[in-house]
Structure 1
Amino acid sequence: MNYQRTASTPVQDSFSFRRRGVVASLLSASALPAIAQFRIDIVGVGLTQFPIAIAPFRGEGQSPQKISAIVQADLERSGRFRSVDASTESLDETSRPDVGVWRQKGADSLASGSVTRLADGRYDVRFRLWDVVKGQDLGGQSFVVPQGDLRLAAHRAADFIYEKLAGEKGVFSTRIAYVTKAGPRYTLWVADADGENAQPALASPEPIISPAWSPSGGQLAYVSFESRKPVVYVHDVASGRRRLIANFRGSNSAPAWAPDGNSLAVTLSRDGGSQLYTISAEGGEPRRLMQSSGIDTEPVFSADGRSIYFVSDRGGAPQIYRMAVSGGNPERVTFNGSYNISPALSADGRYLAYVSRIGGAFKLQVMELASGAVNSITDTSADESPSFAPNGRLILYATVQQGREALMTTTLDGKIKARLSGQGGDIREPDWGPFQKQP
């Protein structure tokens, strides 16, 4: 079988799962400009949500960013929170709320704060969180940041609130990567987890595919066609420096980081056929994982680094398999449907997300690995490239919604979806980065 993926020249190591039921190409995408700013639309209703009021931060009217709106959107997008209107209130981090009033409004918690521009041009962002049911002060934080980090301060405030009320880490201050095509130009973007504040990491007249975050969040591996063939690079996000990892005979693609960040799994055709290898994150000689007469590609490591999930047509059609990194016979994981690709694993190892072709449509599926139970969680028909949030609560993916390319997040049950939609152009290949270390 001759499978192709997002290239103007054949790449025989990935499957023809692209949108609109064809072997898709980034070259065939719309020539509309890439958009770095996204609007968030929340759809759906979750089963259990925390009712929370986010009061307008004092002084945010003079701030370039409306902190309270960013915090509110973050919390809503998680699927764990429901907003209670606080738009007419005048509160800050020093205010002690009348808890009876907020209980009557239906809120269980309240956050309020302030934004102050300092003499040196930086901004002082402060907030406090209250449990209005118990009348308890749950603490707060303050950040002094340059103007360019105001959104980051808001995301960190949302992370604090999420952790205090949901009991687990928030992912709002993490980053995502994705690829766009505008005319003849391909761009690899790094953006906030809500899709805003996108910055270009790489631009090229040749295709860029398969971006993958390193476990530290400081590097991106990806495949570039600058050499008129697929070649794997590792790119330092902060400095822009990059190094060549795999440029062997034939195709070099589908990089996936090992959990320790010291090596990557890649798909190479150097020895004939598309096969899985591991290679040092500094480059060097790759180690072949197994012998196969089929196409093996799209590897992804388990969180403990002991297993690799991958896609293979060894049974006649693309399915997802699992094998030990140390070797041995692979075992098949997906059995529902005849075409399953693009595996992604939650950090806790409980869930596998993937894309299944169902009646000509490409739909996001979520499998509970322990039971094998599978749920189809979208109503769109061109889903691709699922990637879990680092806390395992959300999945990022690309799709076409209402005729437009879109980045989406969804809860694992599909009940809450957020569209991070551009105004046009081709948006795809998203990958959600790891938790960021706090300064």
Structure 2
Amino acid sequence: MNTVLEDRSSSPAWPRRRFLTALAAAGTAFPAAAQFRVDVSGVGARQIPIAIAPFRDEGALPTPVSGIVGADLARSGMFRVAGSPVALDERSVVAAADWRARGVDAVVAGSVTRMADGRLDIRFTLWDIVKGEQLVAQSKLVLAADLRLTAHRIADAIHEALTGERGVNATRIVYVVKAGKRYTLNVTDADGEGGQVALASPEPIISPAWSPDGRELAYVSFETQKAVVWVQDLITGSRRKLADFRGSNSAPAWSPDGRELAMTLTRDGISQLYAMPRAGGTPRRLTSSSAIDTEPVYAPDGRSIFFVSDRGGGPQVYRLPLDGGGPQRVTFTGGYNISPAVSPDGKLLAYISRQGDAFKLMTLDLAAGGVRTLTDTRDDESPSFAPNGKLIVYATRQQGRDVLMTTTLDGSFKTRLVSSGADMREPAWGPFER
């Protein structure tokens, strides 16, 4: 949770949550393999029925390509995925009338061939049964280590061909895992699989944020016994302190052009917003108030910053124009609204709202003002939009564990990311590949 709200647990307006920096400052199943499980709740509207045949000779692989593709498409909420009752590959002749009789609108089939040098030749074809035509036919020669990424890219190609919108399966997410007294910062595929540990520490790690090019992560680490903002290069692994000023340094957020980061500092007393060049330097103060100003996030056009402030009494989301003018309040429904995230098109605000004694994921239409509750859970945290703006990843609690979920924008279709059983927190969805 990207927050540095000071501990005001003595006041009923500020219940004690897991504000770590505050304390420091003051369905579809693929049974062939367990990792393909997609735990689904709700029913997505206008789903496309699609059949995915096992790719010819994929049984020799440690990870079947068709299983990854099917799970990816199911997770989007836009497809109803089924298997194929007949064996197919990319060269098969598909009888559209037969598939229409089965209620299928699209069919995917392919093959995997291991080359003499160990590389994999992965081929697939997508047929549009409704139009009676072949939409996509591709061949990919890849290293065995890139099998999962290739499957995600196939799913994205299918997603875009059938919906006209870019898929996000080949993107990455970052999140924090807490296992016992150990914290790790994990960078994985968008389904929570694969990836790498960017940082491991016996001290808390919070507030990860992606650079716009996906090369670097900013985050807050308590490894020096205080909240410090670090930036880490994910290719080289090198890391540097960006903000280690007196007091607390927290809640980093990248500008859309990647040239600077907004963050919350208490160097001059109470939490206020500052901006710093990505290479470091002297902070530029953005807010000057007697209230707590925290959790900054840039609008996609870079012209304003959304943030949380208690200047009106309880925490609410405000917008600060960067070309002049004072902060403007954005959230008005409920007395406690935190953790803003803005959709890539700038039209929708996701945030966490206290509803009674529960904390719910909400969205606000920034133009029309409509508010929607997306969840029926009680401990939602840390929303982050997918780069195509069609899904939100967030943290919540299920059966006593912190887990990561994705939801469609109407809340009708949710999936739980694969978990090892450890607590998973603070998700942030990375950008498209560049």
TM bin, normalised by shorter chain, reads over 0.9
Residues in 1 aligned to 2:422 and 2:324: alpha-carbon distance in whole angstroms: 42
Report the equivalent of 1:142. Answer: 139
How far the C-alpha of 1:326 sits from its partner, in A, is 2.8
Q: CA deviation at 1:38?
A: 8.2
Q: Structure 1: how far apart are the matches of 2:8 and 2:402?
A: 20
1:262-411 to 2 correspondences below 5 Å: 262-411=259-408
Where do residues 39-118 of structure 1 align in structure 2 (5 Å cutoff)? 39-86=37-84, 88-118=85-115
For 2:141 and 2:404, how far apart are their aligned partners in 1?
A: 31
Q: Which runs of 4+ in 1 moved over 6 A?
A: none
What are the Cα deviations for residues 131-163 of structure 1, in whole angstroms up to 9, with x where unaligned?
112221112222222222111111000100010
Name the CA distance, whole Å, in 1 between partners of 2:245 and 2:118: 50
- Quick check: 2:36–2:67 contact (8 Å CA) kept in 1? no
Whichever residue aligns with residue 69 of structure 1, its letter is G
- Quote the offset at 1:26 in angstroms: 7.0
- Structure 2: give runs of 5+ residues left out of the alignment: 10-14, 22-34
Matched residue SS, 2:417: strand
Contact 2:217–2:234 (CA under 8 A) maintained in structure 1: yes
Please give the secondary structure, in 1, of the residue aligned with 2:54.
coil
1:325 deviates by 1.7
Whether the 8 Å CA contact 1:5–1:15 is kept in 2: the answer is no
Q: Is the 8 A contact 2:2 2:251 kept in 1?
A: no
Name the residue aligned to 1:414: 411
One of 158, 174, 177 as aligned partner of 2:174: 177
TM-score by length of 1: 0.91
CA distance in 2, matches of 1:15, 1:322: 23
Partners of 1:59 and 1:15 lie apart in 2 by 60
| Alignment partners' CA distance in 1, 2:125 and 2:166 | 18
Contact kept in structure 2, 1:14 and 1:298, CA below 8 Å: no
Question: 2 CA distance for matches of 1:403 and 1:141?
Answer: 44
Shift of 1:420: 1.0
Quote how far apart the aligned CAs of 1:14 are.
Answer: 8.4
* CA displacement at 1:24 relative to structure 2: 2.4
1:114-129 to 2 correspondence within 5 Å? Answer: 114-129=111-126
Match 1:157 to one of 140, 154, 157: 154
The residue aligned with 1:30 is none
1:356 match: secondary structure: strand
Asked if the contact 2:50–2:104 (Cα under 8 Å) also holds between the matched residues in 1, the reply is yes
Change (3 A) 1:192 1:242: same
Aligned twin of 1:22: 16
Distance 2:123 2:193 in 1: 22
Task: State the distance in 2 between where 1:326 and 1:181 align.
Answer: 40
- Counterparts of 1:365 and 1:153 in 2: how far apart (Å)? 34
Name the stretch that deviates more: 212-221 or 143-152: 143-152
Match of 1:428 among 394, 400, 425: 425
Higher relative contact order (CA 8 A, sep 6+): 1
Name 1:33's counterpart in structure 2. none
1:206 aligns with 2:200: no
Aligned mate of 1:259, from 235, 256, 260: 256
Specify the SS of the correspondent of 1:148: helix
Could you list the per-position Cα deviations for residues 334-375 of structure 1 after superposition, in whole angstroms to 9, with x for gaps in the alignment?
000000000001000111000001111111001111111111
Q: In the aligned structure 1, how far is the partner of 2:139 from the partner of 2:256? A: 32
**Cα pair 1:5 1:14 within 8 Å, conserved:** no
Distance 1:5 1:262 in 2: 20
CA contact (8 A) 1:258 1:264 kept: yes
1:185-207 superposed Cα distances (whole Å, 9 cap, x missing partner) = 11000010011113201001111
CA contact (8 A) 2:296 2:308 kept: yes
In structure 1, what residue type is equivalent to 2:285?
Answer: R
Q: In 1, Cα distance between the equivalents of 2:325 and 2:262?
A: 16
Report SS of the residue matched to 2:291: coil
Partner of 1:191, secondary structure, is strand
Cα contact 1:38–1:422 (8 A) shared by 2: no
Q: Distance in 2 between matches of 1:278 and 1:178?
A: 24
Residue 96 of structure 1: CA displacement?
2.1
CA contact (8 A) 2:272 2:294 kept: yes
The verdict on how the C-alpha distance between 1:100 and 1:305 changes in structure 2, with shifts beyond 3 A counting, is same
Q: Residue 249 of structure 1: SS of its match in structure 2?
A: coil
**AA of the residue aligned to 1:72:** G
Partners of 1:346 and 1:13 lie apart in 2 by 27
Task: Give the C-alpha shift of residue 424 in structure 1.
Answer: 2.1
Query: Letter of the aligned partner of 2:327 in structure 1?
Result: P
Q: TM-score, normalised by structure 2?
A: 0.92
Distance across 2 between alignment mates of 1:255 and 1:12: 14
Task: Assess, with a 3 A threshold, how the Cα gap between structure 1 residues 14 and 296 changes in structure 2: closer, same or farther.
Answer: farther
Of 369-378 and 141-150, the range deviating more from structure 2:
141-150
Q: Are 2:44 and 2:77, in contact at CA under 8 Å, matched by a contact in 1?
A: yes
